[in-house]
Chains A and B, each alone.
Chain A
Amino acid sequence: DGGITQSPKYLFRKEGQNVTLSCEQNLNHDAMYWYRQDPGQGLRLIYYSQIVNDFQKGDIAEGYSVSREKKESFPLTVTSAQKNPTAFYLCASSQGDGPTNEKLFFGSGTQLSVL
């Protein structure tokens, strides 16, 4: 089945530790996105990539880093500089140019908690 796979489902981070969240898609989509979901705040954009080997900061990029070395993969690293990392992280992808292709497909998410 085509889709977006996020792993792990649950992740725990110790103080001062970097952790990496995985996102893989087999939809052959060009664009991929990372959002953070907090209760009462909706989804906030962390980073996005519209093509391989290129990515842009979103609205809350501080304390996060990404890479896009392969079309199907867009891992997110939560660094020790992110002081409030506890949240639900959603990865998404979309295909093509033009407004008719702006449909995002979402993964099932990773819940990150601080120990």
Chain B
Amino acid sequence: AQSVSQHNHHVILSEAASLELGCNYSYGGTVNLFWYVQYPGQHLQLLLKYFSGDPLVKGIKGFEAEFIKSKFSFNLRKPSVQWSDTAEYFCAVNVRGTGRRALTFGSGTRLQVQP
């Protein structure tokens, strides 16, 4: 079964620090990859997604992620975080060609940005 690993469970950064959150998936087929964010008191929302093409994808609010197929990774980055980036971040994957469109999520990373 496909699985998603997020190794950083809780990250604390100061404003203006750079961010990289790790995400690895277990399936070797063709995958669609996503990062979702849950701000305090808000719905889960899509941050960015990768389906094909350029492995470096850009999302909202200055976030980007790089798909490295050889490493089964899709790490999320931001060069300079802000206090408003405090949230929980989830990596997710679904596998093409299986008939299952539902996403498999990682366990999440709680990011706390200190002013």
A77-115 to B contact mask, C-beta < 8 Å, 1/0:
000000000000010101000011011101110000000
User: In whole angstroms, how far apart are the Cα atoms of A50 and B43 in the complex?
Assistant: 22
Q: How many residues of A contact B (CB 8 A)?
A: 25
* CB–CB A42/B44 < 8 A: no
Say whether B49 contacts A35, CB under 8 Å: no
Residues of A within 8 A of B94 (CB): 102
Q: Chain A nearest CB: distance from B97 CB in Å? A: 10
| Alpha-carbon gap, A40 to B7, bound state (A) | 11
In Å, the complex CA distance between A10 and B33 comes to: 32
Residue contact A106 to B101, C-beta cutoff 8 Å: no
Of the residues B4, B51, B92, B107, contact of A99 by C-beta under 8 Å:
B51
The proximity string for A residues 30-63 relative to B, scoring 1 for CB distances below 8 Å and 0 otherwise, is 0101010000111111001010000010110000
Partner of B105, one of A35, A50, A56: A35
Interface SS majority for chain A = strand
Whole-angstrom CA separation of A16 from B52 in the bound complex: 48
Interchain CB contact (< 8 A) of A59 among B1, B52, B108? B1
CB distance from A54 to the nearest CB of B (A): 12
Find chain A residues with CB under 8 A from B52 CB.
99
CB < 8 Å: which of A40, A100, A103, A106 contacts B9? A40
In the assembled complex, the Cα of A71 lies from the Cα of B34 at a distance in Å of 25
Contact residue among A31, A42, A92 (Cβ-Cβ distance under 8 Å from B106): A42
Smallest beta-carbon distance B2→chain A, Å: 10
Query: A residues engaging B (CB < 8 A)?
Result: 31, 33, 35, 40-45, 48, 50, 56, 58-59, 90, 92, 94, 99-100, 102-104, 106-108
Given contacts A43-B92, A92-B44, A102-B32, 5 further A-B contacts (CB under 8 A): A42-B106, A43-B90, A59-B1, A102-B34, A102-B94
